[in-house]
């Protein structure tokens, strides 16, 4: 089986599983407990915070551990909301955990604006500039598109916002953290979301980087863990496994290797003139369409051939259409034909080449059936 849906989730490092077991079975103590074992575990998860801050190259700020990206994104959106005549700005390319939070803000009577996407998948920076004003409370834009791999210019976005407003800036960095090199020191943003299972850590754990906690309010009420910003006993085993995975990844090396894998896949697929690809800066995600072939049908047929791909975000597969590709201006026929291929740095070139040839073979057979 060749797994090419790494944007949905990645295989957990086996060593990280061992780290998880260590803190689930041996050092299983509650970090809120007063006795020595609990205090030692608390020190361990505080070390995990430092590890993430260092990888983000943030310099300062805090890490709030959560159950994953969806919770982190909701905490950033609703935790930064304030009463009054404010407006909130999001892009049309956001993951459902941000986009649907934005729609909920709108349903509650708040003024919400959506920035369109350019044909290359990045946001329309000029439109963003026209929407930001002194009443803007929050601007939320993802770093890398989970659908196309388009990379938004976060530094440019922060400069646009800071020039016109004191608004807070949130970035969903799920498809970027531990995949591309960047420094939060250069971005000048307030919140950044990460998710462990996107970089070979466990599911069910993530984090929100917060530059200044005074700009955030809790949205979960309980025992006051995470300095009262996220109540609920911390997932210590998940946090420590995430820390382990984070510290093993060489971002630059992985980027270079994955870029070679993506280029290899493109070279195989583009042998057929019916194939169209969406050019993107991220080597981890490739959006592809085969003219005349339904993307979902192709993805299902490939399962029987031992190749796993997807038709888009695993968090929105039950919904018709594709909001991101539609907003990029793609025709309906191309949208229906689109699939997403996503890589990780630990794959072999032979598997990539083999998978590409199988994808082409399956697509050709399906095309013939529809003639």
What positions carry a catalytic annotation? 315
Q: d(Cα 2, Cα 302) in Å, to the nearest integer?
A: 10
Neighbours of 359 (CB within 10 A): 28
Stretch (H or E) spanning 324 = helix 323-327
Stretch (H or E) spanning 50 = helix 36-56
| Secondary structure class of 310 (helix, strand, coil) | strand
Q: Which long-range contacts (CB under 8 A, 24 or more apart) does 25-34 make?
A: 27/236, 28/236, 28/237, 30/233, 31/233, 31/234, 31/236, 32/223, 32/225, 32/233
Distance between alpha carbon 120 and the CA centroid of its chain, in Å?
A: 18
Dihedral over Cα of 105, 106, 110, 115: its sign: positive
Six-digit token string for 114:
């959506």
């Amino acid at each position: 089986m060749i797994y090419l849906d790494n944007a949905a989730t990645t295989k957990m490092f086996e060593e990280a599983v061992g780290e998880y077991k260590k803190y689930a079975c041996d050092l299983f103590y509650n970090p809120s407990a007063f006795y020595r074992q609990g205090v030692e575990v608390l020190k361990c998860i505080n070390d995990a915070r430092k590890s993430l801050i260092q990888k983000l190259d943030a310099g300062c700020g805090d890490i709030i551990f959560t159950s994953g990206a969806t919770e982190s994104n909701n905490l950033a959106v609703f935790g930064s909301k304030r009463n009054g005549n404010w407006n909130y700005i999001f892009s049309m390319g956001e993951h459902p955990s941000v986009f649907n939070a934005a729609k909920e803000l709108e349903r509650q009577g708040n003024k919400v604006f959506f920035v369109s996407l350019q044909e290359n998948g990045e946001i329309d920076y000029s439109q963003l500039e026209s929407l930001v004003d002194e009443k803007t409370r929050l601007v939320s834009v993802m770093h890398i598109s989970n659908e196309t791999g388009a990379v938004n210019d976060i530094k440019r976005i922060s400069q646009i916002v800071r020039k016109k407003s004191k608004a807070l800036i949130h970035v969903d960095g799920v498809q970027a953290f531990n995949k591309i090199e960047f420094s939060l020191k250069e971005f000048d943003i307030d919140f950044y979301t990460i998710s462990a299972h996107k970089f070979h850590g466990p599911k069910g754990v993530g984090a929100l980087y917060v530059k200044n906690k005074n700009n955030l309010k809790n949205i979960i009420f309980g025992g006051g863990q995470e300095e009262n910003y996220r109540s609920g006993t911390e997932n210590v085993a998940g946090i420590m496994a995430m820390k382990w995975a984070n510290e093993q990844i060489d971002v630059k090396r992985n980027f270079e290797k994955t870029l070679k894998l993506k280029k290899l896949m493109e070279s195989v697929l583009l042998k057929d003139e019916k194939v169209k690809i969406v050019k993107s800066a991220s080597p981890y995600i490739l959006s592809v369409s085969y003219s005349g072939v339904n993307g979902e049908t192709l993805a299902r047929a490939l399962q029987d051939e031992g190749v796993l791909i997807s038709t888009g975000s695993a968090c929105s597969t039950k919904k018709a259409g594709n909001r991101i590709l539609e907003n990029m201006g793609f025709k309906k026929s191309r949208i229906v034909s689109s699939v997403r291929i996503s890589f990780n740095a630990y794959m072999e070139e032979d598997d990539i080449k083999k998978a590409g040839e199988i994808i082409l073979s399956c697509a050709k057979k399906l095309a013939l059936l529809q003639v």
